[in-house]
Amino acid sequence: MVKKVLKFGGTSVGTVERIQHIAHIIKKEQLSGNKIIAVVSAMAGKTNELINLSNEISDEFNKRELDVLLSSGEQITCALLSGALLKLKIKAQSWMNWQIPILTEGEHANARIVNMNTEKINQFLDDKGVAIIPGFQGISNKGDITTIGRGGSDATAVAVAKIFNADTCEIYTDVDGVFSTDPNKIPVAKKIEKISFDEMLELSSLGAKVMQSSAVQTAMMYDIPLEVRSTFTERKGTKIFSQENIDYTKSVTGVAYSKDDAKITVIGVEDKPGVAANIFEPLSKAQINVDMVIQNISSDQKTTDITFTVKRDDILKTKKILKNESKINYKQIIQNEKVAKVSIVGAGMVSTPGVTYRMFRALSDEGINILAISTSEIKLSVIIDEDKTLAAIKKLHTIFDLD
């Protein structure tokens, strides 16, 4: 008997018919003798709809109440799925975050699952029941409902797999698996059969939302293999696991992009030791994540320009800090929000020379200007104008043999 965690994302539970469809998937699994814990997302669009409602009341809606509101999306799916299974004569029950409980630490909207009580649910599984758990949420030690970040049902699934000691963790979604790039944007994208945790972590952190990055991080930390597969086809999905078992025939495994970055240039700062530290220290204290940094060469040996990127949501906060911090002197601040980050990821890059040059040459052949660059062992990211994103992904996908 195998214990399985099956996670169903928003599109997979987007309508009553789809919920009935996944009830059949679960029924089949259960009748094959498996113990099933289903983790569900809110129906597609529901979480955004709830956010919009809160914005109608206030754009500074109380964080505690926002978590109460947003967690309700998953609660609806739990009840509907449980009802659908009961209708199929399968023993099933939903558990709300506080009933289990799913304990979290950290602030509202960005909490982290630290533990769950397994006793009642394990008993229910032993009694041949299907347990249904809401993704994306938990409760704090004060008893307040918390949510764990957008896309967080993936992280719930991984946490459930770990805490319940499951044999498998399957992520059911609206595409056949993890592709070399977003198959909804680039139809020639190819499904990847297996991918390492490290590469998947880079891809998801750099914008491939098929898996939430903190879920991948937890899976990597505790060595919990994952499988991403489709709710709507029976095709084989993508296996995500530790690196040893993977052969790298290609230097690049995938191309990712995101449009949540913004570029800021601080013009005319003094060219002397300590200036960069004076800029980035208050940003770090304010929890603003700086991604790429470029310091231009000073032409007059007195002043220089510093360019860096932050998350688009942090741009106002960043400018406010730069303006109010007395230690930072400059002539002007320029910002550019119409940028995108395009990245290539591949563990095979380590052993292949010339990847960097090929990427830059390919972009230049397309007339795409690189505004900033960052690299790590297995990834290379560039910031470019947002309207060139698709052209850049297509070109990189082709030249690195991914089509």
- Residues contributing to the site for ligand ADP (CB under 6 A): 9-12, 41, 151, 173-175, 178-179, 181-184, 208-210, 254
Residues 6+ apart with CB under 8 A from 287: none
> At closest approach, how far in Å is the CB of 378 from ligand ADP?
15
- Choose between 135 and 254: whose C-beta lies nearer to ligand ASP: 135
Residue with tokens 């601040």: 333
DSSP 8-state symbol, 357? H
DSSP 8-state symbol, 401? T
Task: Reduce the DSSP state of residue 115 to 3 states and report it.
Answer: strand
> At closest approach, how far in Å is the CB of 42 from ligand ASP?
4
> At closest approach, how far in Å is the CB of 270 from ligand ADP?
42
Q: In the sheet where 303-311 sits, what is the strand order?
A: 293-295, 303-311, 261-270, 332-336
Task: Reduce the DSSP state of residue 272 to 3 states and report it.
Answer: coil
- DSSP-assigned beta bridge partners for residue 310: 262
CA angle 174, 47, 116 (to 5 degrees): 85
Identify what 181 binds: ligand ADP, Mg ion, ligand ASP, none; CB under 5 to 8 Å per kind: ligand ADP
Identify what 179 binds: ligand ADP, ligand ASP, Mg ion, none; CB under 5 to 8 Å per kind: ligand ADP
If phi > 0 it is left, if psi is from -120 to 50 it is alpha, else beta; for residue 268 that is left
- Choose between 214 and 309: whose C-beta lies nearer to ligand ASP: 214
151 scored as a contact of Mg ion (CB under 5 A): yes
- Residues contributing to the site for ligand ASP (CB under 6 A): 9-10, 41-42, 47, 73, 135-136, 150-153
Judged by CB under 5 A, the number of residues near Mg ion is 2
> At closest approach, how far in Å is the CB of 152 from Mg ion?
9
- Choose between 151 and 177: whose C-beta lies nearer to Mg ion: 151
> At closest approach, how far in Å is the CB of 385 from ligand ADP?
21
DSSP 8-state symbol, 220? H
> At closest approach, how far in Å is the CB of 294 from ligand ASP?
33
Residue with tokens 């490290």: 198
Identify what 164 binds: Mg ion, ligand ASP, ligand ADP, none; CB under 5 to 8 Å per kind: none
How far is Cα 241 from Cα 102, in angstroms, rounded to an integer? Answer: 26
Q: Count other Cβ atoms within 10 Å, centred on residue 157.
A: 33
348 scored as a contact of Mg ion (CB under 5 A): no
Looking at beta carbons, which residue is closest to Mg ion?
151
Tokens of 84: 């659908």
Identify what 215 binds: ligand ASP, Mg ion, ligand ADP, none; CB under 5 to 8 Å per kind: none
Residues that bind Mg ion (CB under 5 A): 9, 151
